């Protein structure tokens, strides 16, 4: 980025503006927009123009007004300090792109309104005998889609770290249509990749990973991988109740993956074999409804009465989490400890955040990633007090698993 002069060039920039919106379409966390600003501003300041492209949500190849990027156009313009034109159809932006003058910005509608972006055949499942043929056909269409996007710009910049684990048209395939000197990673991408290196190349111990969120199933890969690296592994959030039930506990109405009980026991066994200190919630704040104003009580995570559900970590659990975190020198936090969207169930996540901040003050390197945990530290006003806040969720976890991210590989070759 630094060595490239964008003067007079049209830059096709893939960002990850998949930001959380409330029911009125207002952005509830703009970390990802702020993250992309250095790249966009550098191009505009050089005298180039930008064609900003992103996905939002999972519209599965269909137009869905609730996931229209037009909702965030004004916020992007405000953050950028310049007008942003909007192309309602990412495949029909030829004229608008051609008209761009130096210093001007254009944003394309949600790329995933076209199935070609993801490149997965629609309306046919993997068991279907025609699936392979459909997939092959879609891959061809994806190339055409990518070629069209590429035609809008002279140079391609990938700054979408949050989507770098996807081999999609705009994150990877499009790079094939630019010469090697006309494609690059943006500043945010460079910074994120460096933060991951920081964690992986020079681990200061003890290393504590805190994994939250509702399901064990979506985190199993990273949990298994982290077990070879960490000293302490805190598993919290909704996962707590799958582990509790697996050990014979009663979890009432709590979220629980009944088909993952063996997996939970296996994780416990592996942690023991590898000498990892696995810390699970022992008590919880149970509620009589999934509601911020529900009645609550503190109870054992193993003994939740019928009709009640665990929505946050209990006081004993918070102490155990804080103790492990405060003594750490490297910390990775992904996923909240409770339903933090409800103000009355933020306590567990708050205890984690406070401990992470304290450890950071004592010299630890702390990395917070994943939409929900980032929203959490922002809600607490603590984002500036941890070492690094990543815009990546799945991408960050895959990078930490040691996988090469397709979005990075496509540009770097
Ligand atoms: C995310 O928020 O996880 C990224 O924007 C990628 O989106 P995806 O998980 O729907 O591919
Ligand atoms: Mg995701």
DSSP 204: -
User: How many angstroms is it from 369 CA to the middle of ligand 2?
Assistant: 12
Q: Which residues contact 369 (CB under 8 A, 6 or more apart)?
A: 332, 333, 334, 389, 390, 391, 392, 393, 396, 397
Nearest listed ligand to the Cα of residue 163 = 1
What pLDDT sits at residue 154? 98
Nearest CA to ligand 1 atom 6: 163
Substitution candidate for ligand 1 out of 166, 169, 171 with most atoms within 8 A of CB:
166
Nearest CA to ligand 1 atom 1: 162
Positions of the chain with pLDDT lower than 50, given as ranges:
none
Q: Which tens digit of pLDDT belongs to each residue from 80-112?
A: 999 999 999 999 999 999 999 999 999 999 999
At residue 46's C-alpha, the angle toward residues 44 and 48, to 5°, is: 55
- Nearest atom in ligand 1 to 55's CA: 5
Nearest CA to 271 among 330, 237, 224? 224
Nearest CA to ligand 1 atom 7: 163
What pLDDT sits at residue 222? 87
Q: State the chain's mean pLDDT as an integer.
A: 96
Asked whether 217 and 238 are in contact (CB, 8 A), the reply is no
User: How many angstroms is it from 18 CA to the middle of ligand 2?
Assistant: 9
CB burial of residue 143 (10 Å; 0-12, 13-18, 19+): middle
User: How many angstroms is it from 213 CA to the middle of ligand 1?
Assistant: 15
- Nearest atom in ligand 1 to 162's CA: 4
- Nearest atom in ligand 1 to 57's CA: 10
What pLDDT sits at residue 267? 97
- Strands (DSSP E) contained in 179-329 are 183-185, 207-211, 232-235, 277-280, 283-287, 296-300, 309-313
What pLDDT sits at residue 221? 84
What pLDDT sits at residue 148? 98
What pLDDT sits at residue 215? 86
Substitution candidate for ligand 1 out of 14, 15, 16 with most atoms within 8 A of CB:
16
Dihedral over Cα of 9, 395, 232, 353: its sign: positive
Catalytic residue numbers read 32, 215, 371, 394
Q: Which residues line ligand 1 (CB under 6 A)?
A: 16, 18, 58, 162-163, 166, 371, 393-394
What pLDDT sits at residue 133? 96
User: How many angstroms is it from 30 CA to the middle of ligand 2?
Assistant: 16
Helix, strand, coil share of the chain (percent; to 5): 45, 15, 40
Q: Which tens digit of pLDDT belongs to each residue from 293-308?
A: 999 999 999 999 999 9
- Nearest atom in ligand 1 to 371's CA: 2
User: How many angstroms is it from 5 CA to the middle of ligand 2?
Assistant: 33
CA pair distance 133, 137, nearest whole angstrom: 6
Nearest listed ligand to the Cα of residue 16 = 1
């Amino acid at each position: 980025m630094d060595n490239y002069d964008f003067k007079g060039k049209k830059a096709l920039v893939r960002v990850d503006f998949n930001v959380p919106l409330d029911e009125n379409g207002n952005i509830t966390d703009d970390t990802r927009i702020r993250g992309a600003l250095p790249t966009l501003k550098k191009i505009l300041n050089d005298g180039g123009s930008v064609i900003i492209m992103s996905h939002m949500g999972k519209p599965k190849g269909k137009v869905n007004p609730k996931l229209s990027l037009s909702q965030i156009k004004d916020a992007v313009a405000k953050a950028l300090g310049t007008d942003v034109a909007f192309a309602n159809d990412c495949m029909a932006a030829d004229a608008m792109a051609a008209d761009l003058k130096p210093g001007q910005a254009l944003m394309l509608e949600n790329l995933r309104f076209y199935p070609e972006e993801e490149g997965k055949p629609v309306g046919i499942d993997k068991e279907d005998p025609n699936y392979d043929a459909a997939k092959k056909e879609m891959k061809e269409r994806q190339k055409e889609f990518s070629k069209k996007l590429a035609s809008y710009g002279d140079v391609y910049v990938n700054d979408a770290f949050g989507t770098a684990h996807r081999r999609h048209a705009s994150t990877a395939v499009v790079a094939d249509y630019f010469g090697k000197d006309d494609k690059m990673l943006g500043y945010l991408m460079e910074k994120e990749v460096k933060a991951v290196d920081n964690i992986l190349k020079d681990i200061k111990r003890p290393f504590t990973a805190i994994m939250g969120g509702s399901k064990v199933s979506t985190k199993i890969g990273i949990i298994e991988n982290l077990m070879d690296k960490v000293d302490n592994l805190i598993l919290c959030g909704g996962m707590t109740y799958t582990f509790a039930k697996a050990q014979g506990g009663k979890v009432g109405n709590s979220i629980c993956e009944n088909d993952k009980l063996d997996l939970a026991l296996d994780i416990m066994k592996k942690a023991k074999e590898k000498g990892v200190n696995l810390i699970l919630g022992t008590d919880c704040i149970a509620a009589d409804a999934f509601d911020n104003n529900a009645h609550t009580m503190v109870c054992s995570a193993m003994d939740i009465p019928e009709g009640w559900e665990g929505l946050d970590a209990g006081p004993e659990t918070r102490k155990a989490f804080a103790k492990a975190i405060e003594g750490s020198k490297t910390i990775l936090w992904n996923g909240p400890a409770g339903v933090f969207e409800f103000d009355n169930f933020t306590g567990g996540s708050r205890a984690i955040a406070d401990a992470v901040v304290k450890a950071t003050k004592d010299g630890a390197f702390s990395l917070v990633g994943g939409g929900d945990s980032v929203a959490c530290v922002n809600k607490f006003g603590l984002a500036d007090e941890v070492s690094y806040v990543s815009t990546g969720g799945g991408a960050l976890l895959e990078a930490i698993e040691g996988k090469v991210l397709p979005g990075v590989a496509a540009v770097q070759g």
